[in-house]
A and B are shown apart, each in its own frame.
Chain A
Amino acid sequence: DIQMTQSPASLSASLGETVTIECRASEDIYNGLAWYQQKPGKSPQLLIYNANSLHTGVPSRFSGSGSGTQYSLKINSLQSEDVASYFCQQYYNYPTFGGGTKLELK
């Protein structure tokens, strides 16, 4: 199976700051990558698919990039409602998820 390694496991950032979360695959996943946001006690919500396509209704301050084995999620101008955990998921092979990144406000 394809292993997904996310970093950092947690981070603290200030309102208005730009935040970047990384995801590394154990082999090339050819842009078969999605990002999800999960708020406490809630289900995951899709943000990005195909590495860089924004899901319907997701604010444009979220963006995805990358290729091969390295991918990233960027949040511009951090808002209080962005406090959540973020997960990456590859779907080049049977789906596997990264361990998650917990984002808190500084």
Chain B
Amino acid sequence: QVTLKESGPGILQPSQTLSLTCTFSGFSLSTYGMGVGWIRQPSGKGLEWLANIWWDDDKYYNPSLKNRLTISKDTSNNQAFLKITNVDTADTATYYCARIGSILRVYLPNWFAYWGQGTLVTVSS
């Protein structure tokens, strides 16, 4: 059974760095072709893909946010991480991590087959 769970600070102030953790089970990020992504959703609005990380540590970022994002992983502890620098109120959202749908689409954009429950992050002074 594949499960993912996000954790984060809850609230942070503008200009700070947001650090998120995704802890997962039921699959391994050491498996060839495997990947995990981060997606966010402001309350009542649509979804925005942020970044993916692959089994071999290759990374793929949303071009519009690339200079603020850093994705990483700890394969031995089944975790993936996302950092967003210099946050502002526009970064207020629920942040989801998700496992990619197909390990056959190596390095290619992918659908997301399994999602975590999400963690709400509020940026406020």
Contacts and interface: CB of A to CB of B under 8 A. Distances in A.
Given A94-B49, A97-B48, A100-B46, A43 B109 contact: no
Contacts of B37: 95
Contact of A92 (B48, B109, B113): B109
A98 B46 contact: yes
B115 A43 contact: yes
Interface size class, chain A? 20 to 34
Does more than half of chain A's interface fall in helix, strand or loop, or is it mixed?
loop
B96 interface: yes
Contacts, number: 58
Interface of B: 37, 39, 46-49, 60, 62-64, 96, 101-102, 108-118
Given A34-B101, A91-B109, A91-B111, A99 B63 contact: no
A66 interface: no
A89 interface: yes
Interface string A4-34: 0000000000000000000000000000101
Contacts of B118: 43
Nearest to A94: B109
B46 A93 contact: no
Contacts of A1: 63-64
Interface of A: 1, 32, 34, 42-46, 49, 55, 87, 89, 91-100
Given A49-B101, A91-B110, A92-B109, A44 B49 contact: no
5 contacts: A34-B111, A46-B114, A91-B111, A92-B109, A94-B49
B96 A43 contact: yes
A87 B47 contact: yes
Given A46-B115, A94-B109, 11 more contacts: A34-B111, A46-B101, A46-B113, A49-B102, A49-B113, A87-B46, A89-B49, A91-B108, A92-B109, A94-B62, A95-B49
User: 9 closest pairs, A vs B, by CB?
Assistant: A34-B111, A91-B109, A95-B49, A97-B47, A43-B115, A49-B111, A99-B46, A46-B113, A43-B118
- Point out which of B47, B115, B116 has the most chain A C-beta atoms below 10 A from its C-beta: B47
